[in-house]
Chain A
Amino acid sequence: MDLAEGFRNHKEKIINKWVEYTLSSYGSSKFFKKERDQFANPVGGNTREALTALFSLLAKGEDSQQFKKPLEQLLAIRAVQEFSPSQAVAPLNAVKHITREVFKADKERRHLVDELYDFDFAVDLAVLAAFDIYMRFRERLYKVRIDEIRSGNHVLTDAKCPSNLLSEKNK
């Protein structure tokens, strides 16, 4: 049994536990875990989709550049919820433990636990990338706020009125 086969076999179980764990960080998470319609349940749906995609990349040892899309999908949400930065990214790390737990429970694959160095390293890279992405969304949030304030202020000076812009240009 090689590691790739182990990941393939237990993919679903690991992802389910990982999603469940991540969603447990919400005050009332039963609905988030249960409802599979992504439009009725955007937090649960996006978390599941992002972690599923991310797990495949981690398990296949893909280039960490590819982590960006699923991490953005997850962190865009967690960056505007009431988590501290560490709380927002912490669940990503849990996949290491969950994978070990799942492999250990399977007699035929128990030995794979010793082969997880590369996988662990990939998760570490994902966590580091997640901090960057978290910060990018926080910065985007502040920019949205500034843009809104600015557009409000310009209201009274009507600087955004196209004809006014035009007349200023002509000055």
Chain B
Amino acid sequence: MSVPKLEQLSKSVVQGPSLATGAIPTMDWMDIPVAFKPGNYAYPAKAEKVAYLDSQKGLHFPNSREWSPEDDDWKLPENWKDIIIKGLAERLEKFRSLKIFMDCCVRCGACADKCHFFLGTGDPKNMPVLRAELLRSVYRNDFTLAGKILGKMAGAREMTVGVLKEWFMYSYQCTECRRCSVFCPYGIDTAEVTMMLRELLHLVGVGINWILEPASNSNRTGNHMGLQPHTFKDNVEFLVDDVENLTGVRPNISFNRKGAEILFITPSADVFAEPGLYTAMGYMILFEAIGLDYTWSTYASEGGNFGLFTNNETMKKLNAKMYAEAERLGVKYILGGECGHMWRVLHQYMDTMNGPADFLEKPVSPITGTVFENAASTKMVHISEFTADLIRHGKLKLDKSRNKHVKATWHDSCNTARAMGLLDEPRYILDHVVDWVEMPENTIREQTFCCGSGTGLNTDEIMELRMRAGLPRANAVKYVHEKFDVNMLACVCAIDRATLTSLMNYWNPEVGVCGLTELVANAIVQEGETRPELEEGLRTMLF
């Protein structure tokens, strides 16, 4: 190889299609068109799924059709522009927060370098400020005097097909993790800007299948996979067998039992996919150990709410399903499993959408008598709050040495950490059940980095995108793996459990992923157990 001339090399490196924009990155951002190619976009929703959702009461998903992001013509409805501008006007009227977020950004740049998509791509349109500017520029053009008069000089631009394509590209390169919001001096919730972009796109039939199919399944059978009641029941019962094989104690479970004290709802992924299965087994061991009077539901068989990634009507409807079931069964309150966005919906939107849930009782732990004042209105308690309280009152017999095969670190899941402030309870639990260490300070707690695949971006066709978006998280895990021999990344989110597994398989193949309750159950000493030495805890295969 010859000695390269820097200019020539630069040509091959910097010029030509690069980054997600597919263009030379020296132009003004407004002038850079998006280029869709395999690997940088998620597959569009199947027409029949969109049509089904549109046919459902309370939901609005018009303009279903077959289309492809790679085609020039997205087959938009003729009046697509009117639909978008009217949709934006309606939302500005309905959501005061949106109006404020559109007006109050001073472009200080505090958020710019906080987004994991920006940190993984170096694409300026992944700076939260610029991502929001994609919508704000149109808002200025059509809804502000300065924009109407000064146009581009005031940062305004007309809504065009190119802008719409840009919205699609970048509203699906945001996981609504809200890390940027932590740093915004005005508290602008950029996730809500993304939510609005996605809502507007749905009005013209532009959405992705990985979100709309689970949303339609949830509406139809109650869970993302579309499992019917008997299948859901079978899966949970398989896990009961597994727990009995491993511990000698058969957990007592019930489904749709009227009069149970508590309704337990968790993401359906916990009962049908690794490594969530072990977390589900953990729930059963925990509840059995304390003799909890609870029931599963085959109808409210999904904690996840892909409505949050779709539009507010779908979010409301899917959330309401849990409460309808709680009311039908006559339980006192709901105990929620390890889920991420279920808790964001609960803490930030449930009360105004469907609450307060006055037909339920203020949650009280039947074991310790603790009143969960924080859940007085939503009537739903997080499993980690519940477990930490049990440990605090000495109600669990724990043997930490049963987790001696694990050296853990803790991933604060975005939604539970930033949207509900669940920061110390998991750490308190970890202290009692496992040897663990923290990741670096600027990657945990409120500043935690997203798994890179949240908000329905956990689909395989964008694996590269997910790997680069997850780099900041993986980079911090790599550090504790190399320095402290960490071999397990624990978390309280089902999407995390699935996507961090792939993320670790790429970046840190020697680190596994588990739910917190799996670690708790590994350590629980149960009455009457005939448990052999389980070298890998609940993951041990017994023959």
Q: Quick check: is B94 within 8 A (CB to CB) of the other chain?
A: no
A97: nearest chain-B partner, CB-CB: B6
B79 within 8 A of A: no
B273 touching A155 by the CB < 8 A rule?
Answer: yes
Residues of B within 8 A of A143 (CB): 505
Binds A, one of B197-205, B344-352, B470-478: B470-478
Does chain B have a CB within 8 A of A9? no
Closest residue on chain B to residue A101 by CB atoms: B6
Find chain A residues with CB under 8 A from B241 CB.
163
Question: CB-CB < 8 A to B442: which residues of A?
Answer: 37, 39-40
Residue in contact with B463 in the complex, picked from A45, A87, A141, CB distance below 8 Å: A141
Which residues from 35 to 55 on chain A have a C-beta closer than 8 Å to any C-beta of chain B? 35, 37-43, 45-46
Check B242 for interface membership: any CB of A closer than 8 A.
yes
- What CA separation (Å) do A169 and B6 show in the bound complex? 61
The range of chain B's interface size is 35 or more
Main secondary structure of the interface of B (DSSP, over half): helix
B464 proximal to A (CB < 8 A) = yes
Residue B238 CB within 8 A of the other chain: yes
- Complex CA–CA separation, A12 to B506 (angstroms): 32
Restricting to A91-143, which residues have a CB under 8 Å from any CB of B? 91, 93-94, 96-98, 100-101, 120, 123-124, 127, 137, 140-141, 143
Q: Which residues from B are CB-within-8-Å of A162?
A: 242, 245, 541
B507 at the interface (CB under 8 A from A): yes
Q: Is residue A4 within 8 Å, beta carbon to beta carbon, of the partner chain?
A: no
A42 touches B14 (CB 8 A): no
Alpha-carbon gap, A29 to B505, bound state (A): 28
Residues 151-162 of chain A: 1 if any B CB is under 8 Å from the residue's CB, otherwise 0? 110011010111
The total of chain A residues at the interface (CB under 8 A) is 63
Please tell me if B284 contacts chain A, counting CB pairs below 8 Å. Answer: no
Which residues of chain A come closer than 8 Å to B119, judged between CB atoms?
41-43
B96 on the interface (CB 8 Å rule)?
no
Q: In the assembled complex, which residues on chain B have CB atoms less than 8 Å from the CB atom of A165?
A: 541
Q: Which single residue of chain A is at the shortest CB-CB distance from B113?
A: A31
Residue B20 CB within 8 A of the other chain: yes
With A38-B475, A39-B472, A94-B9 in contact, do A161 and B242 touch (Cβ < 8 Å)?
A: yes
By beta carbon, the residue of chain A nearest B26 is: A27
Interface of A: prevailing SS:
helix
Question: Smallest distance from the beta carbon of A91 to chain B beta carbons, Å?
Answer: 6
Instruction: Please indicate the chain B residues that have their CB under 8 angstroms from the CB of A91 in the complex.
Output: 9, 13
Query: Are B273 and A42 in contact, with the CB atoms below 8 A?
Result: no
A82 contacts B235, CB within 8 Å? no
Q: Is the CB of A169 within 8 A of B124?
A: no
User: Is A65 interfacial (CB-CB < 8 Å)?
Assistant: no
Q: Is the CB of A27 within 8 A of B123?
A: yes
Contacts of A155 in B (CB 8 A): 225, 272-273
Residue pair A96, B4 in contact (C-beta under 8 Å):
yes
Q: In the complex, given contacts A26-B19, A28-B127, what are 8 additional A-B residue pairs having Cβ atoms less than 8 angstroms apart?
A: A27-B19, A31-B112, A41-B113, A86-B12, A90-B12, A97-B5, A97-B9, A158-B235
A-contacting residues of B (Cβ < 8 Å)?
1, 3-6, 9-10, 12-14, 16, 18-21, 25, 40, 112-113, 118-124, 127, 225, 235, 238-239, 241-242, 245, 272-274, 277, 440, 442-443, 460, 463-464, 467-468, 471-472, 475-476, 479, 498, 502, 505-507, 541-543
Chain A residues at the B interface, C-beta cutoff of 8 Å: 21, 24-29, 31-32, 35, 37-43, 45-46, 76-77, 80-84, 86-87, 90-91, 93-94, 96-98, 100-101, 120, 123-124, 127, 137, 140-141, 143-145, 147-149, 151-152, 155-156, 158, 160-166, 169
Some 22 contacts from A to B, beta carbons below 8 A apart, are: A21-B10, A25-B14, A27-B19, A28-B124, A39-B475, A41-B119, A42-B119, A77-B471, A81-B120, A81-B122, A82-B19, A87-B18, A94-B4, A96-B3, A97-B4, A137-B506, A140-B506, A160-B277, A161-B238, A161-B239, A162-B541, A169-B543
